[in-house]
Homo-oligomer: A and B are copies of this chain.
Amino acid sequence: MQSVSSSCFADVLSEFIALTPREREALDALELRQRHVRRGAILQRENEPCGELFILRKGLMMSYVLLDDGSRQILRFLFPGDMLGISSAIYHEAPETLCALSDTVVCPFDRATLSGIMQEHPRLSAMILVYSQIERVALTDRLAALGRTSAKARVAALLLDLRNRLRATDKSIDRAFPLGLTQEEIGDATGLTAVHVNRMLRQLEEEGMIAREGGRVTLLDRGALAGAANYVNRYEGLDLRWLPPAR
């Protein structure tokens, strides 16, 4: 664990509002320490007491729950700049597991630091609420996908979402990106079996909507994919004019 300078979370917020120096300084407190987490390692386990929150600085993680028949539901993929474990912080025991999908770097901080920011910076409080609401809406989109769309649509939506979220931190990504997930993981995110995910990917490929080679996916026809998936990018279309003034 070593000390670092500027906040990754602040960079994400800067996409939407101009942070004041004081605000930026307060956010830096979230990322004073950093910890390396190897691929496959678990940062927080479901039903265990949860001490810390984290900012994900580098790499890809996921949150999931295990059902008592042993099956897994992946709730969310986590990208650099995401705040991890807010929902766990409000419970005595974590409602979900956090696990690294690649080698990652996270910055741990405690509830008191969050509490301090909420005391001193109403506009940052509001932005944290906004972020948790964006996540909420993204979850409802996935709920609708699992409840009411076909296997092909769910896989297409996942590919589009991955592409957009990767692009948020790496503007060089356009049509192609490294998948970084096994077909079993795609299945656990979309409520399908790995076998059926395979068939759906193949079908999307045969229909010319995507191409695959060596773990990389290319979205050949984003329009057609979006149509098949009725996908909405929830990081767009925000209205933040009502936020409290910066302090």
Q: With A90-B238, A115-B244 known to touch, is A140 a contact of B190 (CB < 8 Å)?
A: no
B118–A122 CB distance below 8 A:
yes
Q: Which of A130-138, A176-184, A196-204 has 4 or more CB atoms under 8 Å from chain B?
A: A130-138
In the complex, the chain B residue whose C-beta lies closest to that of A147 is B191
- For A3, list chain B residues within 8 Å (CB): none
A240 to B139, CA, bound (A): 24
A111 CB within 8 Å of chain B: yes
A224 CB within 8 Å of chain B: no
Q: With A91-B238, A111-B242, A242-B112 known to touch, is A143 a contact of B146 (CB < 8 Å)?
A: yes
A204-247 CB contact bits vs B (8 Å, 1 = yes)?
00000000000000000000000000101010011110111100
Chain A: residues with CB nearer than 8 A to chain B?
65, 67-68, 71-73, 75, 86-87, 89-93, 95-96, 111-112, 114-116, 118-119, 122, 125-126, 128-130, 132-137, 139-144, 146-149, 188, 190-191, 230, 232, 234, 237-240, 242-245
